[in-house]
Structure 1
Amino acid sequence: MEKYTSSELANLYQIHPNTIRLYERLGYITPSKRSANNYRVFTKLHVLQVKICRCIFGYPFTNKTIRNAGNEVMWASSKQDFRTGKQNAKQYIQIIEQELDIATKTTSLLYGWANEVKPKQFLAGGDYLSRKEVAAYFNTTVESVRNWERNRLIYSVREGEKGERLYSSSDFNRISIIYMLIQAGFSIASIQRSLVTYENGYKNEIITALNHPKYEELTSVGDRWIYELTRLKQAAKAIPSIFEELMTL
């Protein structure tokens, strides 16, 4: 059986040996055995487990739901429960696909917003969603939606039969753009400035209001979101076959 030191295993993936130790400490790979001189000893098992980790880490625009699903994949791998891990990997891919669908729709809205084209509505004209339903759609928390309200990013003047806040199609479109900008790393304050700028008719100054040097155009935010999620999806699709290889060890 081929054996590896921490440095040798790290070199396979061009990462630091401390990263291997971190994966072990967090339970993402099976604990290594020790040699007579107390050095960590890794095997082919760990090579494949780290390969799974590298398919999951290093991608921006991941929300908490995606990260949690990725953790479940790695923890199953670490426990050598490879069948469960393969199932978790398929669920992980589905969650990424859901986020990619949101990204695609929101980017379409963003192009309309930036170019003053009437956007396609996410919801049917007479449909309304509650805070809880909005949070569920974006895989976020009800408290996050409340926080957007408190910071005056979104408004809702309509209430349901139980007095709960309800959001219309236009509200939902606005929330979609807010969610995307938050995923891109913009602060609540900069998003608020941008929305106020847009509402006051200064479309050409939206990106200046965001005060983010990485993006020359507002639409490039959405393009990069889709690009990074597509990369993540491609990496994730390799994970089930890694579990199949693990089953043969």
Structure 2
Amino acid sequence: MYKTKEIAALVGLHPNTVRIYEEWGFISPVPRQANGYRIYSNTHLFQLKVARTLFRCEIVQGDIRKKAREIVYACGKEDFTKAEQLTIYYLTNLEHEYNHALSATKVVEKWLKEDSTVSSCTYSRKEVALLLDITPETVRNWERNGLITVPRLYNGKRVYGERELEQLRVIRSLRSAHYSINAILRLLRRIQQPSPDIIAILNTPTDEEDIVSVTDQLGKSLLDAIADAKDTLDLLHEKTTFQKR
């Protein structure tokens, strides 16, 4: 039996966080003593360990965070078999996201190796958006964020050539893999280095980046989340195996 401060110390959380986790249903309802103090069991300790492990990595792109919460909610209901099944599904999704992120870097490598001969074909913003199956506003947003500079005609109208089209295709691939605008901008600024390490550049923020999010180092964050999911699966497998005895 544990008091709030004791169980919080065991899992490395603030006591207020433990209380919030109970309020959110991350752990089972906690009985009170006559004086109102909470008394936690070993089941609560296990539930908190699962939550702490899954939330170590602050990865938030897509619905990854939602899937992690579903596992914790299942633990809060003491349905550890369901939590184990959800964790297997969660891990599979994380590995898919990581492979998708790696595949996007292959598009960059192909782009760097391609013949840079300039074609006479030109396109409007609407036309390149249609070719890439994105909206013109998305293209405009990438321009505003400095991901691409588009030449203009004498009348000020932007004109996209094959070079710009291919660069937009690379940007689209990286964004679809959930790389952040900052990470892509960092890559495009350093891409002309001799033999650039594309994955390292995408996952290593520079000192000039004041605010860094998890998707600014997506590959590392996904690998951290995969490791946490495997640790969670080990915890749950041990729990469900013990319950079946």
TM class, shorter-length: 0.5 to 0.7
- Aligned residue among 122, 129, 138 for 1:148: 138
Do 1:110 and 1:222's aligned partners in 2 also have CA atoms closer than 8 Å? no
1:33 equivalent to 2:50? Answer: no
Aligned to 1:175: 172
Identity over aligned pairs, percent: 26
Q: Give, as a single letter, the amino acid of the residue that structure 1 aligns with 2:230.
A: K
Going from structure 1 to structure 2, the CA distance change for 1:78 and 1:174 (only over 3 Å counts) comes to: same
* Structure 2 CA distance for aligned equivalents of residues 109 and 216 of structure 1: 27
* Structure 2 CA distance for aligned equivalents of residues 49 and 109 of structure 1: 42
- Aligned residue among 217, 222, 239 for 1:229: 222
Structure 1 position 236, deviation (Å): 0.3
* Structure 2 CA distance for aligned equivalents of residues 100 and 71 of structure 1: 20
Aligned to 1:106: 104
Aligned to 2:52: 54
Q: TM-score, normalised by structure 2?
A: 0.63
* Structure 2 CA distance for aligned equivalents of residues 146 and 44 of structure 1: 55
Aligned to 1:215: 206
Going from structure 1 to structure 2, the CA distance change for 1:111 and 1:29 (only over 3 Å counts) comes to: farther
Which string of whole-angstrom CA distances, capped at 9 and with x for unpartnered residues, describes residues 76-109 of structure 1? Answer: 1111112211111111001111111122223444
Q: TM-score, normalised by structure 1?
A: 0.62
* Equivalent residues, number: 194
CA RMSD of aligned residues (A): 4.0
Do 1:10 and 1:20's aligned partners in 2 also have CA atoms closer than 8 Å? yes
Structure 1 position 66, deviation (Å): 0.7
Which string of whole-angstrom CA distances, capped at 9 and with x for unpartnered residues, describes residues 159-184 of structure 1? Answer: xxxxxxxxx9865432133356x654
Query: Could you list the runs of 5+ residues in structure 2 that have no partner in the other structure?
Result: 116-130, 149-164, 194-203
Going from structure 1 to structure 2, the CA distance change for 1:34 and 1:102 (only over 3 Å counts) comes to: same
* Structure 2 CA distance for aligned equivalents of residues 21 and 146 of structure 1: 47
Computing the radius of gyration from Cα coordinates, the structure with the larger value is: 2
Which string of whole-angstrom CA distances, capped at 9 and with x for unpartnered residues, describes residues 195-239 of structure 1? Answer: 6x79xxx957xxxxxxxx942699xx9994222211211110122
Q: Give, as a single letter, the amino acid of the residue that structure 2 aligns with 1:177.
A: L
Aligned to 1:89: 87
Do 2:59 and 2:222's aligned partners in 1 also have CA atoms closer than 8 Å? yes
3-state secondary structure, aligned to 2:50: helix
Higher share of residues assigned strand: 1
